[in-house]
Chains A and B, each alone.
Chain A
Amino acid sequence: MKRIGRLKVKKIRQNVYHYVLLIFFFLIFISPIVLMILSSFKEDEIQIIKDMSSIQAFLPNGPMGFENYVNVFQRMNFFKFFTNSVIITVSTIVVGICFNSMFAYALAKLEFKAKHILLPAMIALIIVPGETLSIPLLLLVNKMGLIDTYAVQIIPFVAEPFFIFLFYQFFKELPKEIMEAAIIDGSSYFGIYRRIILPLSKPVFASVIIFNALGRWGDIMWPVLVTRGEDVRPLPLAMQALFTINRNNWGDIFAFATMATLPILLLFLLFQKQFIRSIASTGVKG
Chain B
Amino acid sequence: MRTKTNKYLRQEMTAWFMSAPALIILLLFMIVPLLMSVYFSFTNRMLIMPPHLSTKFLGLENYRRILEQNDFFIALMNTLKFALVVVPVQTTLALLLALLINSKLRFIYFFRTVFFSPVVITMVVVSIIWSLLLAPGPEGFINSFLSHITFGAFEPKAWLFDKHSSLYAIMMFSIWQGVGFQMIIFLAGLQYISKDLYEASGLDGASKIQQFFYVTLPQLRNTSVFIMITTTIFAFKLFTQVLVLTNGGPQDSTLTLVYLLYSEGFTKMKIGYSSAIGVLFFLIVLLISIVQMKLTKVNREG
Contact = CB atoms under 8 A, between A and B. Distances in A.
Interface of A: 15, 18-19, 21-22, 25-26, 28-30, 32-33, 35-36, 49-50, 52-54, 57, 98-100, 102-103, 105-107, 110-115, 118, 122, 125, 127-129, 131-140, 142, 155-156, 158-159, 161, 164, 183, 188-190, 193, 214, 217-218, 220-221, 224-225, 235-236, 239-240, 243, 250, 253-254, 257, 260-261, 264-265, 267-269, 272, 276, 279-284, 286
Q: Sort chain B's interface into a size bin.
A: 35 or more
Contact of A140 (B36, B101, B188): B36
Contact of B115 (A25, A49, A118, A240): A25
B8 to A, nearest CB: 7
Interface of B: 7-8, 10-12, 14-19, 21-23, 25-26, 29-30, 32-34, 36-37, 40, 45, 47, 97, 100-101, 103, 105, 108, 111-126, 128-130, 132-133, 135, 138-141, 144, 176, 180-181, 184-189, 192, 222-223, 225-227, 233, 236-237, 239-240, 243-244, 258, 261-262, 265-266, 271, 274-275, 278-279, 281-282, 285-286, 289
Nearest to A28: B176
A150 to B, nearest CB: 15
Contacts of B222: 286
A286 B278 contact: no
Given A32-B176, A218-B124, A268-B120, A135 B265 contact: yes
22 contacts: A25-B111, A25-B115, A52-B132, A53-B141, A54-B144, A103-B21, A110-B18, A127-B285, A133-B30, A133-B34, A135-B37, A136-B278, A158-B25, A161-B26, A183-B7, A218-B240, A236-B124, A236-B125, A272-B116, A279-B185, A283-B185, A286-B226
Contacts of B8: 111
Which one of A235, A240, A250 has the greatest number of beta carbons of chain B within 10 Å?
Answer: A240
